[in-house]
Structure 1
Amino acid sequence: MGEPVNVKKPAALFVAATALIAGASAAASAADPAADPAGTRVTSLQQQAEQVLAGHPKALHVSADAVRYDGLTVTAAPKGQAALKDLDCAYGHLCMLVNGQKFDFYKCQTWNLNNWTGNGPFTNNQTPGTVARFFNKDGSVRWTSTAYEAGTATWDPIWSLRPC
């Protein structure tokens, strides 16, 4: 099945991207010196993002709210999208919302997951008949999704997944 990839790294990259969004908001409010008199919040958030991205040379900061890393794009989920059943997902991709983050998998490999909790929508928009597998801690299959399928899933306890 190939070497598993740890999603912890892309999730950390997402935190950096989220920091940039917050930094942009702080920059907008920085016009009001009372909001951030020293202007330190923007600088520290930007520095945090730069440090995380520097530690992962394969990561690409593709927008203020998205980071792409080796077959996966992680973005901030648009407000209100967590309630959707059919998540916007490009053809050939497996997408899901987990803890306010949209994970868009487009590379066939095993992905180790970290801190996935709660429920959220998913869309398996891969080629018809492609089976995504979600695994327990011991490596046994917890559940599968055959493309095309969309719905809501319980993320805990999912420990790894293979989109194809």
Structure 2
Amino acid sequence: MNIVKPAVLLLAATALVAGGTAAATAAKPGGTRVTSLRQTTDQILAGHPEPLKVTADQVRYDGLTVTAAPRGGAALKDLACDYGHLCMVVRGTKFDFYKCQTWNVTNWTGDGPFTNNQTPGTVARFFNQDGSVRWTSTAYEAGTATWDPIWSLRPC
């Protein structure tokens, strides 16, 4: 298993959010929402490089799209998940994974829906802190999961 060590990358991402991102978003309408979504994403998705694109409602990475709950604080209930993707809602935020790699996560708490809409038979693995498998999902499968304590996942 090829798990990226998150400490150094997380510190770099945190420094960028604290520095350049706050100044850049302050000048844009809706900047507070962009900063808030980015900070939430950084807190939940540990140790991954800078996103490719950040908008008021989404943060896009290479292999992952993170979508915020709609304005007004309503919970995300739509878990539409494209074919070939693994989707879930964690703390009111939708994660749509579509790249086969190990993703380190942190602060995943509570319960939430998931949909494994990958090629039939594809196994998504969710790992404990020590790297052991906590649970698996074989496509196609949908349901509700308990996210804590998930420390990493591999969609395929």
Same fold (TM over 0.5): yes
Question: Of 102, 108, 118, which residue of structure 2 is paired with 1:126?
Answer: 118
Counting matched residue pairs gives: 129
Contact 1:133 1:162 in 2 (8 A): yes
Measured against aligned partners, the alpha-carbon deviations of 1:78-133 in whole angstroms (never above 9, x if no partner) come to 43444x7xx21111000000011101100000011110000000000000000000
Q: Which has the higher contact order (CA 8 A, sep 6+)?
A: 1
Could you say which residue in structure 2 is the equivalent of 1:67? 59
TM-score scaled by length of structure 2: 0.69
Tell me the amino acid that sits aligned with residue 4 of structure 1. V
Structure 2 counterpart of 1:159: 151
Q: Does 1:88 align with 2:80?
A: yes
Change (3 A) 1:98 1:5: farther
1:116–1:58 distance in 2 versus 1, CA, 3 Å:
closer
Match of 2:103 in 1: 111
Say yes or no: does 1:145 pair with 2:137. Answer: yes
Which ranges of structure 1 fall in alignment gaps of 5 or more residues?
A: 25-41
RMSD between superposed Cα atoms in Å: 3.2
Q: Secondary structure at the match of 1:102?
A: strand
Q: Alpha carbons of 1:145 and 1:128: their partners in 2 closer, same or farther (altered >3 Å)?
A: same
**In structure 2, what is the Cα distance between the partners aligned to 1:136 and 1:144?**
12
Q: How far apart in 1 are the matches of 2:100 and 2:152?
A: 13
* C-alpha separation in 1, matches of 2:153 and 2:56: 27
Larger Rg: 1
**% identical equivalent positions:** 65
- Shift, 1:67, TM fit: 1.1
1:134/1:46 CA distance change after superposition, 3 Å: closer
Check conservation: 1:95, 1:104, Cα contact below 8 A: yes
Q: State the distance in 1 between where 2:35 and 2:76 align.
A: 27
How far apart, in 2, do the equivalents of 1:112 and 1:57 lie? 14
Inter-partner Cα distance in structure 2 for 1:60 and 1:91: 22
1:59 partner letter? L
Structure 2 residue runs without a partner (length 5+): 40-48
